[in-house]
Amino acid sequence: MSESPKTAWITGGGTGIGRALALRLARAGWRVAISGRRPEPLEDTAAAAAGLDGEILALPADVTDADSVRAAVASIHERFGPIGLAVMNAGMFKPLKLRDFNTASFEAHFNVNVLGAVRGIEAVLPDMLDRGGRIVLVASVAGYRGLPTAGPYGATKAALINLAETLHMELGRRKVQVSVVNPGFVETPLTEKNRFPMPALITPEVAAERMYAGILSGRFETTFPRRFTWFLKFLRCLPYALYFPLIKKATLK
């Protein structure tokens, strides 16, 4: 980590991985602002931090609204000071079957998952260019290669991985560290929608520990659980002639 203040901002911080990471950071003494569209889970997460070494500020914001994002960042600066760690975690996932293929699903996913992250980066970047800091993009192993019914979601996660790679190279010279988190299956409100077996499913708390370790290490990519995600990395290296039949057999029933 850089010498930036121990102040963090997490989008999508009221549930799932975002909530667990916020509480993990607060236990380590961080001041954490969490944003999301629904105030109730944000306030519940903030209340759960009572008695911890750090604190959590519930700060409702909509990542699809640039003005809302900028206002949230301004509020964090006013309350906590400069942001040293920004975790772009807000996301949506809705499976898309071929018979329902439509533009609106892609627009909704990209507006939240990709442009939501871009709006957050745009809001924190000017100050970080002066002071340093770390930006973490939460993507997914679904961004490694195409998967059935994950067209909109996978495309956005592939875009986030590419964006993280680009910014890592461009901003590294400016003392702004950029990294990506590629989780496998985690018990969250998003994965509750899945109607298929989820190998190596882990809890948000375990995921948060892996993310926290990755943040402290400074490495570019954090992926978990490794016994599952490294297998997917192997699949990414296969030629299409092998990959397509293998995935079809495993997923298309």
Is-catalytic flag, 153? yes
Between CA 121 and CA 138 the distance in angstroms is 13
Question: By the 8 A CB rule, do 82 and 127 touch?
Answer: yes
> Distance (Å, rounded) from C-alpha 63 to C-alpha 117?
7
Residue 91, judged by CB atoms within 10 A of its CB (0-12, 13-18, 19+), counts as buried
Question: Which residues, including other chains, have CB under 8 Å from residue 102's CB and lie 6 or more apart?
Answer: 96
Q: Which of 153, 212, 240, 243 is catalytic?
A: 153
Strands 176-183 and 221-224 come out as: parallel
User: What is the C-alpha to C-alpha distance for residues 77 and 71, in angstroms, rounded to an integer?
Assistant: 10
The tokens of 248 are what? 């079809």
In three-state form (DSSP H/G/I as H, E/B as E, the rest C), the secondary structure along 92-140 is CCCCCCHHHCCHHHHHHHHHHHHHHHHHHHHHHHHHHHHHCEEEEEECC
In sequence order, the 6+-apart residues with CB closer than 8 A to the CB of 168 are: 177, 178, 179, 220
What is d(CA 121, CA 129) in angstroms, rounded to the nearest whole number? 11
Residues classed as catalytic: 153
